């Protein structure tokens, strides 16, 4: 199949379609004819993977008619979003678009613990995701800075830790990790009711987007121990390790809480996956904990790291009994991955390479390219952020299928927005757009069709559309030369300047 790259770019869609064959003129009468599951279109899509067939569509535009063909409602929805984009930038040009996704998991993670945004904000981002043909919203619902989902069996999770002192994570940290109550006028936070989350799940499903909840364990769990100290490690003298970062994998109270929470979470979310975190456990309190030492003796463990593997395997078995699969950050590779688990590679690409070699399904979201809380331009001109320079060009250049990876086990790619330094909804959108455009194209379009300059022109035009819809976006017109170059590290600025001056 030919890829009409230049013509597809001229069409203006993001993500770029697989194929575009132009014709003369524009559509002057938007009469839409729908043709579902025709033998001819089924034949055209017969060689595609099942997930691609579900989302495949063909749009034929003539001066007086638009014909849409697809096999499923999802395919028709994707076609409709293409037409929505085309209408937003001008008259729809005549021609034929044939399109389907490259990857099945095309995701965005929003950290709701460090900064709480609320249902209306999430719905607004779901609308943007639908326009970009993304299909997974991953919600980071709890972390040390706040628990964001009401749990009937453990109400103090929100009762004691949904509100804190300090609008940003670092203000809370500087204030020595103080929580407060909902009625404190100086408090910051909030949480989602079950009814709100069910409504969100339905709202997303109507747009063919799956919401994956994340319940973090065993690290990043200071707030859980604050609300329920019985899940914390115990000194040999009987005192509890108050303020500990990690849950105690030796305590049965830990598993009672986690299983009760997961039961209620599974009842709300329809996703086939439940994310269990698994990253950055310090394990500092485990070596001397009486419960952890007992667990190690019972299981024959010689290293405290094996306790994390025990917890992950036990939780995976519990989740599996409810018909779901777990996803874990790539640290779960270090202590034995349960069969059926999915590995999400965030510390570069190594986790994906290892998971692929071991035969596990994996999702790529390396912090080098897919962390949108990192700077997108020069420090002096941007709001405070973290990490390296992940510019639009740099993130667009990411290829999730590295040499040595098994494409059969690559589920997809995901952007992550951690919100330690992003306290407002406007700031969050500023960090997402247009970089999320780049991820959408990487996840959907054929890798051979990617070309940055044409993409940049399309992204610039789509930003105007997004701003017209009320989104707060990065200003591409003021983007620095360094960011436009695609360099990642700020210390490369002098090297870039020398190269630029030599070339010009």
Would 500 be classed as within a structural domain? no
**Contact predicate 162/148, CB 8 Å:** yes
**Among positive and negative, which fits the CA dihedral 29, 31, 37, 39?**
negative
Would 200 be classed as within a structural domain? yes
**Contact predicate 303/353, CB 8 Å:** no
Q: Are residues 132 and 86 in the same domain?
A: no
Per-residue pLDDT, 297: 98
Q: Are residues 92 and 110 in the same domain?
A: no
Q: Are residues 202 and 287 in the same domain?
A: yes
Domain boundary among 49, 66, 99: 99
Q: Are residues 89 and 198 in the same domain?
A: no
Would 37 be classed as within a structural domain? yes
Per-residue pLDDT, 125: 98
Q: Which of 21, 37, 122 is nearest to 74 (CA)?
A: 37
Q: Are residues 166 and 39 in the same domain?
A: no
Domain boundary among 47, 78, 99: 99
Q: Are residues 121 and 254 in the same domain?
A: yes
Q: pLDDT tens, 416-440?
A: 999 999 999 999 999 999 999 999 9
Q: 348 to each of 12, 61, 109, 263, 329, how far by Cα in Å?
A: 31, 43, 17, 32, 12
Radius of gyration of the chain (CA): 24
Tally of domains in the chain? 2
Domain boundary among 99, 127, 154: 99
**Contact predicate 229/255, CB 8 Å:** no
Q: Are residues 174 and 203 in the same domain?
A: yes
Q: Are residues 347 and 302 in the same domain?
A: yes
Q: Are residues 91 and 209 in the same domain?
A: no
Q: Which of 289, 277, 270 is nearest to 346 (CA)?
A: 277
Q: Are residues 316 and 205 in the same domain?
A: yes
Q: Are residues 58 and 194 in the same domain?
A: no
The 10 Å Cβ neighbour count of residue 211 is: 21
Beta bridge partners of 45: none
Which residues are catalytic, by number? 143, 220, 280
Q: pLDDT tens, 25-80?
A: 999 887 899 998 889 999 999 999 999 999 999 999 999 999 999 999 999 999 99
Would 75 be classed as within a structural domain? yes
Residue 19 — φ and ψ, nearest 5°?
A: -145, 140
10-residue mean pLDDT series, the chain (504 residues): 45 94 90 90 97 98 95 98 92 95 98 98 98 98 98 98 95 96 96 98 98 98 98 97 97 98 98 98 97 98 97 98 98 93 97 97 97 96 92 97 95 98 97 98 95 96 97 97 84 50 41
Per-residue pLDDT, 2: 39
Per-residue pLDDT, 492: 56
Q: Which domain holds residue 432?
A: 105-491
Would 355 be classed as within a structural domain? yes
CATH number at residue 83: 3.30.379.10
Q: Are residues 386 and 455 in the same domain?
A: yes
The two tokens of residue 87 are 């209408």
Residue 29 — φ and ψ, nearest 5°?
A: -135, 105
CATH number at residue 473: 3.20.20.80
- Do β-strands 93-99 and 57-62 pair in parallel, antiparallel, or remain unpaired? antiparallel
Would 173 be classed as within a structural domain? yes
Helix (H), strand (E), coil (C) string for 309-348: HHHHHHHHHHHHHCCCEEEEEHHHHHHCCCCCCEEEECCC
Would 496 be classed as within a structural domain? no
How many residues would you count in the chain? 504
Q: What's this model's pTM, rounded to 2 decimal places?
A: 0.95
Would 499 be classed as within a structural domain? no
Q: Which of 338, 446, 450 is nearest to 101 (CA)?
A: 446
The 10 Å Cβ neighbour count of residue 245 is: 18
């Amino acid at each position: 199949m030919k890829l009409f790259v230049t013509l597809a770019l001229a069409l203006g869609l993001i993500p770029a379609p697989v194929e575009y064959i132009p014709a003369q003129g524009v559509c002057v009468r938007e009469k839409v004819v729908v043709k579902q599951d025709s033998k001819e279109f089924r034949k055209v899509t017969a060689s595609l993977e099942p997930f691609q067939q579900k989302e495949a569509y063909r749009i034929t535009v003539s001066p007086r008619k638009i014909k849409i063909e697809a096999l499923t409602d999802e395919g028709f929805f994707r076609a409709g979003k293409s037409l929505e984009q085309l209408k937003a930038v001008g008259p729809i040009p005549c021609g034929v678009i044939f399109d389907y996704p490259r990857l099945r998991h095309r995701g965005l993670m929003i950290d709701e613990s460090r900064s709480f945004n609320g249902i209306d904000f999430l719905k607004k981002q779901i609308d943007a995701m639908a326009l970009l043909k993304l299909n997974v919203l991953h919600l980071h619902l709890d972390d040390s800075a706040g628990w964001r989902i009401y749990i009937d069996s453990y109400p103090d999770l929100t009762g004691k830790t949904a509100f804190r002192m300090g609008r940003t994570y670092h203000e809370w940290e500087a204030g020595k990790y103080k929580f407060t109550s909902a009625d404190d006028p100086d408090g910051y936070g909030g949480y989602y009711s079950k009814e709100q989350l069910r409504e969100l799940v339905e709202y997303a499903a109507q747009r063919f987007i799956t919401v994956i909840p994340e319940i973090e364990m065993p690290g990043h769990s200071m707030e859980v121990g604050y609300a329920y100290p019985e899940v914390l490690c115990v000194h040999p003298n009987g005192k509890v390790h108050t303020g500990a970062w990690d849950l105690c994998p030796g305590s049965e109270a830990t598993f009672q809480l986690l299983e009760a929470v997961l039961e209620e979470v599974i009842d709300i979310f329809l996703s086939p996956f439940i994310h269990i975190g698994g990253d950055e456990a310090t394990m500092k309190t485990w070596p001397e904990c009486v419960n952890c030492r007992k667990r190690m003796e019972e299981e024959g463990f010689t290293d405290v790291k094996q306790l994390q593997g025990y917890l992950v395997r036990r939780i995976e078995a519990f989740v599996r009994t409810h018909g779901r699969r777990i996803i874990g950050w790539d640290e779960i590779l270090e202590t034995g991955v349960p069969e059926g688990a999915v590995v999400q590679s965030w510390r570069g690409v190594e986790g994906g390479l290892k998971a692929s070699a071991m035969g596990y399904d994996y999702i790529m979201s390396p912090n080098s390219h897919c962390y949108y809380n990192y700077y997108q331009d020069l420090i002096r001109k941007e709001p405070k952020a973290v990490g390296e320079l992940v510019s639009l060009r740099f993130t667009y250049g990411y290829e999730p299928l590295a040499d040595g990876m098994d494409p059969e086990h690559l589920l997809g790619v995901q952007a992550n927005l951690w919100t330690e330094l992003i306290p407002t909804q406007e700031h969050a959108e500023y960090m997402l757009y247009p970089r999320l455009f780049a991820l959408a194209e990487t996840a959907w379009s054929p890798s051979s069709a990617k070309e940055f300059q044409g993409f940049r022109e399309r992204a610039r035009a789509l930003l105007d559309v997004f701003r017209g819809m009320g989104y707060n976006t990065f200003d591409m017109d003021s983007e620095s030369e360094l960011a436009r170059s695609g360099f990642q590290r700020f210390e490369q600025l002098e090297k870039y300047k020398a190269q630029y001056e030599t070339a010009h």
